[in-house]
Amino acid sequence: MEFDFTEDQHEIKRTAKDLLGKRSTVERVRSAAEAATYEESLWTELVELGWPGVAISEEHGGGGLGVLELATLLEESGYALANSPLLATAACGLAIQEAGSDEQKDEWLPKLASGEITGSFGIEGQTFPDAPDSDVIVVISEDGATGTVVATGDADVVEDVTIDPTRRYGTVGLGEGGDALPGDASAALALAAVITSAELVGVCTRALEMTVEYVKDRKQFGHPVGSFQAVQHRAAQMLLHTEGARSVTYYAAWAADADRTLLAEASALAKSSASKAGVEVTASAIQAHGGIGFTWEANVHWFYKRAQLDAAYLGGTKTHRARLTAIAAAASGSR
């Protein structure tokens, strides 16, 4: 057993982190968010690097790598809070690759992989990341049983203004349009939940890092506030949430590539844990920053807001815990 990335995977992750560290600084995230736009040049660059198609097969013009590699990119994208349709496009591509017919794959995957178009993915009637400006959307039925691929123009898309201005959102209904996905919609949903969890792990990692830096520096009562035990124990709890979510998210991404029998449970595990971590860690980050943490001017709120939207996306902790219980109850009955 080796519960660590390979050298290649580490390299992908490092390179992604370096690039986003330069190209998606928090100042740029802020100015894009405040202008309610994306910086086109960032997306162009990610497309040139092949990020949207990294887990799409080479046959369909993608990188032919796994969900795990894609997850490392999303983690770094969450860490940088990059303003881009990466999560939505990657989830859409994974879904079509997973559950689409040959014709559907031929039609959509090469364009999604090459970045010629962007996609979106979600559960019917809920909030979809990046739906309004996308070209194609995969819509999963409320019960998770069936999926439909639809050109965005043929779907019923209403733009949502959410609390998270770092990303664009829309509510999607199917209307008359669309083409049923013949394959396993629940697996498509599981894959999207895994990569969303990866983004949340990145958000948590960054919020925690910012907090540790801040409390080392900020002095009250003549001491750094990070020397007070209540603050220290809060930080320790943030680490437990973050590292726990990391363990189960990597496990789920690995299961997606290596052992599909584990995927349903692993993805529920990842999404319940990462949603909890995202919400708790970013809320704690605000608290540990004090008054400044409550201002628009400080940057922690961007992470809190993204975490809220990611946590709710495809169902949050409660939904996925219920799923874990149902899986365990079924296994218990069969023993």
Partner 1 sequence: MDLTFSKDEVEFRDELREWLAENSPGEEPRGDEDAIFAFRTGWQRSLYDSGWAAVHWPQEYGGRDATLMESAIFFEEMGRAGAPLPANVLGLLLAGPTIMAWGTPEQKDRYLTPILSAEEIWCQGFSEPEAGSDLAAVKTRAVRDGDDWVVTGQKVWTSGAQFSKWCMLVARTDPEASKHKGLSYFLMDMEQEAVQVRPLVQITGEAEFNELFIEEARIPHENMLGEEGNGWIVALTTLMNERSGLGFFLQVRLRQLLDKLVAEAVANGSIDDPVIGQSLGDMLERTETLRLTAYRGLSTITKYGQPGPEGSLTKWLWSETNQMMTQLAVDIVGPQALHKDNPWAYELLRARGNSIEGGTTEILKNIIAERVMGLPRK
Q: Which residues bind partner 1 (CB under 8 A)?
A: 1-6, 9, 68, 212, 215-216, 223-224, 226-229, 231-233, 235-237, 239-240, 243-248, 250-251, 254-255, 258-259, 269, 272-273, 276, 318, 320-326, 328-329, 332-333, 335
**Closest alpha carbon to 104 in 180, 45, 214, 5:** 180
Comparing CB distances to partner 1, the nearer of 39 and 280 is 280
Comparing CB distances to partner 1, the nearer of 115 and 316 is 316
Angle, in degrees to the nearest 10, between helices 7-23 and 40-48: 160
**Closest alpha carbon to 273 in 304, 302, 310, 316:** 316
* Shortest distance in whole angstroms from residue 263 CB to partner 1: 13
* Shortest distance in whole angstroms from residue 82 CB to partner 1: 24
**What is the Cβ-side half-sphere exposure of residue 127, based on CA atoms within 13 angstroms?**
18
* Shortest distance in whole angstroms from residue 1 CB to partner 1: 6
User: Backbone phi, then psi, for 192, in 5-degree steps?
Assistant: -65, -40
Distance CA 264, CA 48 (A): 33
* DSSP labels, 136-201: EEEEE-TTSS-EEEEEGGGSEEEEE--S-TTS-EEEEE-TT--EEE-S-HHHHHHHHHHHHHHHHH
* Shortest distance in whole angstroms from residue 166 CB to partner 1: 26
Token pair listed for 332: 């218990």
CB atoms within 10 A of CB 205: 22
Asked whether 138 and 108 are in contact (CB, 8 A), the reply is no
* Shortest distance in whole angstroms from residue 270 CB to partner 1: 10
* Shortest distance in whole angstroms from residue 267 CB to partner 1: 12
Comparing CB distances to partner 1, the nearer of 41 and 330 is 330
Comparing CB distances to partner 1, the nearer of 41 and 229 is 229
Comparing CB distances to partner 1, the nearer of 71 and 185 is 71
Comparing CB distances to partner 1, the nearer of 44 and 227 is 227
Token pair listed for 280: 């708790």
